[in-house]
Structure 1
Amino acid sequence: MPTVSRRLFLAFLLACVALACHAEEPATSGAFVLHKMANAIGRETYSIQTSGDTYTLTSHFLFTDRGTKVPLETTFTAHTKSMSPVSYAAKGQASRLSAMDDKVNVGGPSVTIIRSGKTETVSPTRPWFITDGYSPVAMQEQMMRWWLSHGKPAQFTVYPAKASVHIAPAENVTVDGATLHGYTVNGLIWGQECLWLDAAQNLIALVSTDAEFDHFEAVREPYQSNLAGFIGAGVRADLAALAQLSASARTSPAHRLAITGATLEDSTGAPAVKDSVILIEDGIITAAGPRSQLRIPSDATLLDASGKYAIPGLWDMHAHYEQVEWGPIYLAAGVTTVRDVGNEFDFIRTLHDELDRKQNPAIGPHLEFAGVIDGRGAISMGATLADTPEEAVQWVEKYKAAGARQIKIYSSVKPEVVKAICAAAHARGMTVTGHIPEGMTAIEGVNDGMDQINHLPYAMSYFTRAVLGPDGKPDRTKPAIEELDGPRAHDLISTLQLHHTVLDPTVALFETFLNTKPLNQIEPGVDHLPAQLHEALDSPPATGDHAALADARWKATLDTLRNLHAAGIPFVAGTDQAIPGYSLHRELEVYVEAGLTPLEALQAATIIAARAAGAEKESGTLEPGKRGDVLLLNADPLADIHNTRKVWRTVAAGAVYEPAPLWKSVGFLP
């Protein structure tokens, strides 16, 4: 922790911050360091000027995300005594891909909103304030000061989004003997944020997500060295708030649980067992088989699943557990284990520990994680960077100590560092997955030691050939030519076979970019999303020439999957987020469309996934000794893979969850 003394006073002078740790008055200017994935990528400065009975806040917000600048200029005017808004304007970007040009003007009892080129006038629902998402940070500070000065209303509306916001006390943080008061904020973004104020109501730190649903943090400059502590405290605070929202969905695990009457499909390939019994004791399966052959202990809690189908709880092998709200989503969808493949170190370590607690674990699936390592460069992401073999080994050791079973290589890692990562991981009993870095090929990555590859396009390039234009460069206006039986395809397949490489295709994600009809016709789950997620994720269908290119690309995707499967290359099912809670089911459906049987598709999300994660002795089938993770379905998934969507109950380590309350707890429609 930093010492509050001359160094803070110097920082005050240099940054023009009218605040020290024990300021008695709210600051009228300041600066925040902006972070993505715990990596400092920008800065926000703000100032407040008073004129008559109003004041005006001006904010300059700018960060650079993977080579793209994200600027936002904001002006907010309000009445000095009441903090009642007068006007608001925000122009710039909320993310790399989302422009913002919003205006709000207050005229008597009405509010005029100009957003996305559309104008509307509304009568605001009281109490109300103006705040437009996660940025700028200074506006969140204004919101908190308004809330505190107006008696901490239980709920209020924010414009222009017309969202309902709830604020609650959360875990405090102590810095140099001073208490920073924590709060969770629900509804300003999808899910929860956590922030801390000092005694003078100055916002010191914010732990949130940005408009791309990636980790975002802002820390007032003198407190920059405390970032890791704020991230950890934010996870714990958000999990505590979430537990209250989702409590009605969970039946606490019994010492002994007996699931009776279901048709047992254990994912081993053995014949289905009708009228089965699955016994779970202290979260572990002790028996699974025909009712006629098993004795049910007299003290067991009974769960009658007659007419249902029991399969192992599913794995999502390409998760980015960016927010604690993903926990209820996964469980509602039947996912009892996730492999996170790229997250903030302090966030994922804290979340892993909280979900893994034996007593009163947090609401969510079992979590495995692959620690991400990137290299420094124009498109690098996060703070876990390695440009030398020595730096790589340090990160591998740090992730191993934190509980990771894998390392994930990201896109800017140098070839010589790839070798070092793989060697260091293998020496410590870990495996390596990830992207194929810029300048390398999939074959080179595998030969250098990568055990698994994320995303099918790294393999697709061996099965297609771009059409060249007159300049000799690829013509992106024409679909690539498929060469499914060419020498390059054979080279890749033989390399993957030799090294027993596992692929994590994430094809359902790419389908959301290549849709040529409304997305809800492909993935009906999109209609169940909260408003903020629906707006961000419901991509419109391609038309005209773009549709022809999309159709050709999708055909090549299915053909590549089909050929790789025919060659015996194992797949594991993952989503890379996509449509939360639904895309894992779509991933399995696409596998069947590409030629896998329903059982083979299910195994990609059960036993093959567990084996690829090094957890086959703990999970992946319904057998004695495995975790008590059971998905109970209303229809037979081996008859129709679409039936994995028909979740009746999810059992995770012996705790029974009902889907509908879980969906509702995070704003989804059941």
Structure 2
Amino acid sequence: MLLLALLAAADTLPADRPVAFVNVTVVTMDRPATLADQTVVVRDGRVAALGPAGRTAMPDGAVRIEGRGRWLIPGLAEMHAHIPPGQATREEIERVLFLYLANGITTVRGMLGAPQHLAIRDAAARGEIWSPRIVTSGPSVNGTSAPTPEAVARMVAEQHAAGYDFLKIHPGLSRATFDAMVAIADRLGMRFAGHVPADVGLDRALEARYATIDHLDGFAEWLLADDAPARGQPAFFFGVNYGGQLDLARIPEAVRRTRAAGTWMVPTQVLMENLAGTEAPEALAARPEMRFASASAKAQWTQQTNGFRSAPGVTAAGRADWLAMRQRLLKALHDGGVGILLGSDAPQVWNVSGFSVHRELQLYVQAGLSPREALATATVNVARFLGREAEGGTIAVGKRADLVLLRGDPLADIRRTAAIEGVMIGGRWLDRVALDARLEAIAAAMR
């Protein structure tokens, strides 16, 4: 309960007191250039003024935050997040939500919802807890939870009535059940996202107009060469067992179909690198952020990683080829006009909530996106996808004050998104001292 008390403690800069970031460089994300030596005034949870420091007045009684040598960016989004499930305690849930927030994430899309998450979502929207804003799916729609068209119809109607934001699809749905789900979801105006069941396939998923396909699911199967030895064998973990047997000449057509469908991608590249890469579990466990993961989680992740790399049909060469294909596919999708949204899948194997998005962004740049293009996947793209461009995604007068102050220029080096000086959510400010105090309490709880 001590941790919960720390997380709920009154902030030193309440949202009803004006705040001014002075002499700061602003990365607005709605123009090519940054704005140097600016003053950004926040009042009542929104950006009230933005202009040159010498000509933009601070309101009386405003708290001054010195921004010289600092960069101000819009709050980031994690579009493949997990909030602890329904049996988790409120303290466990708020601990994970704070880890996201402390990493500059002011919006999360929860990809495995539970009834308890609806109340958490609403509490976060009211600013009652230290949390990003939450968009949440309902419970998983899969071959077990929805084995028949009749069962899926009931499930979709119940989730819509409960107020979930979208449907999360997992493997196992039959084609008939999937088609029934699409019909009722379309009738109710409820979006669906997630995995591409094997019986559905990429072409039908695109035809049905998924809101997002996560993990680049279904693409390895679509790219499998006609004469591949693995043809006829089921895909293992998004097709890693197809590595070395993929026809990359098919990528342009896959991109064309995806763009025509208007389906967005949430790549989760870092999860794939964690599992299929060459970094040993001992090195992964030594990452600095692992102090926020429990010993049991790290032991489980070690076992999962070793099991994955030694699974039937999975070879070191095949893994490397599969990872390279995913990076090439990501760049092609982006260049072909397909919308990309930042998502890492956390907490998950070696992905600590919040911290993993910075590793994900680095992989987008390694794939060939510019730092600005990578940053767009976490900011302006998300606002566009959610239909919230009037509220967020960029820094502009009238928009929500969901902001992150950095100690370096992320457009010069995307790694600087992790150099966080402070985070503002809805006008409430957490400086580095406040962030570290709460983070230390979480680390202590993991020991």
TM-score range, shorter chain: 0.7 to 0.9
Distance 2:165 2:234 in 1: 39
Deviation track 1:167-204 (CA, whole Å, cap 9, x = no partner) reads x6xxxxxxxxxxxxxxxxx9xxxxxxxxxxxxxxxxxx
Alpha-carbon distance, 1:404 to partner = 3.3
Which residue of structure 1 lines up, in the alignment, with residue 49 of structure 2?
287
Contact 1:269 1:599 in 2 (8 A): no
**Alpha-carbon distance in 2 for matches of 1:394, 1:477:** 36
Change in CA separation of 1:547 and 1:458 when aligned onto 2, cut-off 3 Å: same
Query: Following the alignment from structure 2 to structure 1, what is the Cα–Cα distance between the partners of residues 232 and 213?
Result: 30
Answer yes or no: is 1:418 the counterpart of 2:161: no
Identify the residue that residue 514 of structure 1 maps to in structure 2: 276
Name the structure 2 match of 1:601: 374
Letter in 2 for 1:300: A
Amino acid at match of 2:437: P
Kindly provide the amino acid, as one letter, of the partner of residue 665 in structure 1: A
State the 1:640 CA deviation: 0.6
The answer to whether residue 97 in structure 2 is matched with residue 335 in structure 1 is no
- State the 1:456 CA deviation: 1.4
Higher relative contact order (CA 8 A, sep 6+): 2
With over 3 angstroms needed to count, the CA separation of the structure-2 counterparts of 1:521 and 1:340, relative to structure 1, is: closer
**Alignment RMSD, CA only?**
3.1
- Gaps of at least 5 residues in structure 1 are 1-167, 169-185, 187-240
What is the Cα deviation at residue 250 of structure 1? 6.1
2:230 and 2:130 map into 1 onto residues whose CA distance is 57
Q: Aligned residue for 1:363?
A: 130
Query: Structure 1 length as normaliser, TM-score?
Result: 0.57
CA contact (8 A) 1:393 1:420 kept: yes
The equivalent position to 2:116 in structure 1, one of 347, 364, 377, is 347
Aligned-partner Cα distance in 1 for 2:28–2:368? 21
Alpha-carbon distance change, 650 to 457 in structure 1, aligned in 2, over 3 angstroms:
same
Cα offsets for 1:604-654 (capped at 9, x unmatched): 011112222232222211112322110111111000111111111011111
Q: Which residue of 2 aligns with 1:5?
A: none
Q: Does the aligned pair in 1 maintain the 2:149–2:181 contact within 8 Å?
A: no
Deviation at 1:330, TM superposition (A): 0.7
Q: Which amino acid aligns with 1:310?
A: L
- Greater gyration radius: 1
CA distance in 2: counterparts of 1:472 and 1:367, whole angstroms: 40
Other structure's SS at 1:324 match: helix
Cα-to-partner distance string for 1:645-666 (whole Å, 9 max, x where unaligned) = 1111011111111331232121
Higher strand share: 1
Q: Is the 8 A contact 1:484 1:563 kept in 2?
A: no
The residue aligned with 1:528 is: 291
Q: Is 2:169–2:192's contact at 8 Å kept on the other side of the alignment?
A: yes
| Percent of aligned pairs sharing the same letter | 26
Tell me, yes or no, if structure 1 residue 641 matches structure 2 residue 414.
yes
Question: Which range moved further: 297-306 or 498-507?
Answer: 297-306
Give me the whole-angstrom Cα distance separating, in 2, the residues matched to 1:478 and 1:470.
6
- C-alpha change, 1:620 and 1:403, in structure 2 (3 Å) is farther
Summarize the Cα distance change of 1:610–1:396 in structure 2 as closer, same or farther, 3 Å threshold: farther
Q: TM-score by structure 2 length?
A: 0.84
Is 1:551 equivalent to 2:320 in the alignment? yes
In 2, distance between residues paired with 1:465 and 1:248? 59
- 8 Å CA contact 1:523, 1:582 repeated in 2: no
Q: 2:280, 2:39 → 1: CA distance?
A: 42
Match of 1:584 in 2: 357
Distance (whole Å) between structure 1 residues aligned to residue 372 and residue 230 of structure 2: 48
Q: Which residue of 1 aligns with 2:90?
A: none
**Inter-partner Cα distance in structure 1 for 2:408 and 2:226:** 43
1:568 positional shift:
1.7
Match of 1:374? 141
2 CA distance for matches of 1:477 and 1:368? 33
Matching residue's letter, 1:666: I
Shift of residue 364, structure 1, vs aligned partner:
1.1
Given the superposition, is the C-alpha separation of residues 318 and 498 from structure 1 closer, same or farther in structure 2, using an over 3 Å criterion?
Answer: same
* Deviation of 1:423 (Å): 4.2
Whether the 8 Å contact between 2:78 and 2:107 is mirrored in structure 1 is yes
Question: 430, 439, 446: which one pairs with 1:663?
Answer: 439
The 1:618/1:427 distance shift into structure 2, 3 A limit, reads: farther
What letter matches 2:428 in structure 1? A
**Whole-Å Cα distance in 2 between the matches of residues 267 and 333 of structure 1?**
19
Match of 1:504 among 247, 259, 266: 266
Q: Secondary structure in 1 aligned to 2:404? A: strand
Could you tell me which of 481, 484, 488 is aligned with 2:245? 481
1:294–1:478 distance in 2 versus 1, CA, 3 Å? closer
**Contact kept in structure 1, 2:47 and 2:398, CA below 8 Å:** yes
Aligned twin of 1:124: none
Report the Cα distance in structure 2 between the residues aligned to 1:660 and 1:455, rounded to whole angstroms: 32
Q: Secondary structure at the match of 1:336?
A: strand
SS of the residue corresponding to residue 222 of structure 2 reads coil
- Letter of the 1:557 partner, please give it: R
**Residues 75 and 379 of structure 2 are in contact (CA less than 8 Å); yes or no, is this contact kept in structure 1?**
yes
Q: Where in structure 2 are there 5+ consecutive unaligned residues?
A: 85-92
Q: Residue 372 of structure 1 contacts residue 409 of structure 1 at CA under 8 Å; is this kept in 2?
A: no
Matched, 1:307 2:69: yes
Residues 634, 648 of structure 1: 8 Å contact kept? yes
8 Å contact kept, 1:355–1:364: yes
Q: Is the 8 A contact 1:396 1:425 kept in 2?
A: yes
Which residue of the partner structure matches residue 149 of structure 2? 388
